[in-house]
Amino acid sequence: MLNRYHNESVADQVKKIYEKNQIIEYQGRLYQRIDPIFLDPEPRGIGIRSHFFAPRKYFLGKYIDTFTFNIAFIWFMTAVLYAILYFDLPGKLINSRLFRRRTRE
């Protein structure tokens, strides 16, 4: 399977093996620039932000697998956008009096 599905170019990009500065100093801290796929994101706030190619996401005090988090987020956004279209919120906004007054002036 490794020979059939492994792409060396993608692996090099994900691991950043050609990075000149493997470790950099920024504001008195050291940051690893190579192998970002092996680094967990630092917990901050509710933790939605994480680096690209992160193996898992920190969300609401827990680490969640990236694939699971992304699929759940896609389903959440699908439900939100469906509700917006179901209740015709864009049409109501365009036809609202508040919007009409602004366009007349």
On average, the pLDDT of the chain sits at: 89
User: pLDDT tens-digit profile of 26-73?
Assistant: 999 999 999 999 999 988 887 778 888 899 999 988 999 999 999 999
Q: Following DSSP, what letter does each residue of 22-76 receive, concatenated?
A: SEEEETTEEEE-S-GGGPPPPP-TT-----TT-SEEEETTEEEEHHHHHHHHHHH
Calpha distance 85→31 (Å, rounded): 44
- Cα 83 from chain centroid? 23
Backbone angles phi, psi at 55, to 5 degrees: -75, -25
**In terms of Cα–Cα distance, which of 72, 76, 74 is closest to 62?**
72
What pTM did the predictor assign?
A: 0.72
Reported confidence tier of residue 105, pLDDT bands at 50, 70, 90: low
For the record, the structure tokens of 73 come out as 């987020």
What amino acid is encoded at 8 in this protein? E
